[in-house]
Amino acid sequence: MSKKSKILHNKYSKEDLQKQLDLEDFKRITISFYKYVIIKDPITMRQKLYIDWDKLKIKGRIYIAHEGINAQLSCPEQNWERFKKQVYSIKEFKNVPFKLAVEENNYSFLKLAIKVKKQIVSDGLNSNEYDVTNVGNHLSATKWNKYIDEGATVVDVRNHYESRIGHFENAICPDVDTFREELPIIKDKLKNKKEDKILLYCTGGIRCEKTSAYLKHHGFNDVNQLHGGIIEYAKQVKETGIENKFIGKNFVFDDRLAEKVSNKTISTCDQCGEPCDDYTNCNYVDCNLLFIQCKKCKDTYNGCCTKDCSKMAALPKEEQKKIRKQRKRASLTSFKKSIRPQENLDERRRNNT
């Protein structure tokens, strides 16, 4: 990567970025979009987008690869039309569908981060295991509901912590931490359903795109996917008044962590067991565990997952840094001790030759 590319990144601390957001006197729109399309030079594309979007005060997390783009971001309301025009002016992204958040706030993202990746969704597949030009049928919310009522098999193509707080009723929800783990598990769970109608859904549609291509490659004949994912489904339910078959919250990959799709709470607080579907990251920076925590426990534990983490988080920041350095030194010393016998053996061998 060129020297020029290295300077195109955020240079502010988290605290400074938070202050900048607090001072904004305008509303933001939270958007997601993706597209599988050949991008010949992802680095050059990354540079162009960073320059253009930084001028528009865009914040978000964007992945670019040779196979396409996957973007979640927030745009100032007054720059929304300019942003759309700019995106559509790029031939690779012409007419890409945007998905707007159901619940809005100005703090979905703190900074603009655009990264070049090998894949826009990490799946662990070989290129001969799928063809993204041969994917499942894209369904509207109305068609989706119709097929559910007719008894189709519904599969949640997300991780367990996402489906834990919200999912479609009677959906198959694999107990996995990553999308990479999920694909072979889904294929195995559906091994006796190759002739059945399969319905796939995820947050915004991108994981379904890859999963449907993977299943079709492995002989599944009637594969369908929820167009635009849960985000678009919730929007269509709200606009048209059709029955909402999604229960709970939709997990989102920004600082909001989730947005409400129905009023039903299907999960419980990890600390007290009371009904709750609010995710939080442990307030102790060295932990940062993602877990469900009710407001009462949040106060009791200072936003932390345990009393030990709460004690550490309460220490002055300089004291926390000092402890981190001590732990790193101790870890390095332990590592060196673990490899020293091998080093000594190598030294003895050299001396004996």
Catalytically active residues, by annotation: 202
Query: What's the token pair of residue 175?
Result: 């107990």
Q: How far apart are CA 75 and CA 291, in angstroms?
A: 28
> 268 - beta bridge partners?
275
Q: How far apart are CA 117 and CA 130, in angstroms?
A: 19
Q: In the structure, how many helices (H) and strands (E) does the chain have?
A: 12, 14
> Do residues 67 and 132 touch, judged by C-beta distance below 8 A?
yes
Q: How far apart are CA 201 and CA 3, in angstroms?
A: 41
- DSSP per position, 30-56: EEEEEEE---S-HHHHHHHHHHHHHHT
Question: CA dihedral defined by 143, 211, 280, 9, rounded to 10 degrees?
Answer: -110
> 185 - beta bridge partners?
none
- DSSP per position, 204-263: SSHHHHHHHHHHHHTT--EEEEETTHHHHHHHHHHHH-----EEEEEE-SSTT-EEESSS
DSSP conformational letter for 128: G
